[in-house]
Amino acid sequence: MIPELQPWMLLIVAMIVFTIGLLGVIVRKNLLIMLMSIELMLNSVNLCFVAFSRIHHLVEGDLTALFVMTVAAAESAVGLGLVIALFRTLRTVDSDQIQMLRD
């Protein structure tokens, strides 16, 4: 017996991917991989919005997912610009090496 595809099943995938993304931000030291993990989290939240939009029979979740996509594009552009500016001064993308305020 194979069940029908229900919208709440997507929430499980979104939950797992969000947790993996959070783990990536906490565990990794490479700033690029941290940004990629943030993208993973934003994507899983998008999936949640669309799934809840289907569950509630509304269309607003789809629209919110669109706006989240815009914010994600802006965020990754600014974040990567920051990474490049940082690499120019410190010659590294290791987040543990950013300690100019300490010394």
Partner 1 sequence: MNLGFFAFCVFSTIAIFGALSVVLKKNPVSSAFALVMVFFAFAGLYALIGAHLIAALQILVYTGAIMVLFVFVIMLLNQDTPVNDLKESSGLFKGVAALALAGLAMILIHTVLRAQDIVAVGQLTEEKITAQGGNLRVVSEALFSDHVFHFELTSFLLLGAIVSTVALAKRKTALGGES
Interhelix angle for 60-90 vs 31-55, to 10°?
180
Q: Which residue's CB is nearer to partner 1, number 57 or number 103?
A: 57
Q: What's the min distance (Å) between Cβ of 103 and partner 1? A: 20
CB atoms within 10 A of CB 32: 13
Q: Which residue's CB is nearer to partner 1, number 53 or number 101?
A: 53
Q: What's the min distance (Å) between Cβ of 102 and partner 1? A: 17
For residues 83 and 93, the answer to whether their CB atoms sit within 8 Å is yes
Q: Which residue's CB is nearer to partner 1, number 89 or number 103?
A: 89
Q: What's the min distance (Å) between Cβ of 101 and partner 1? A: 19
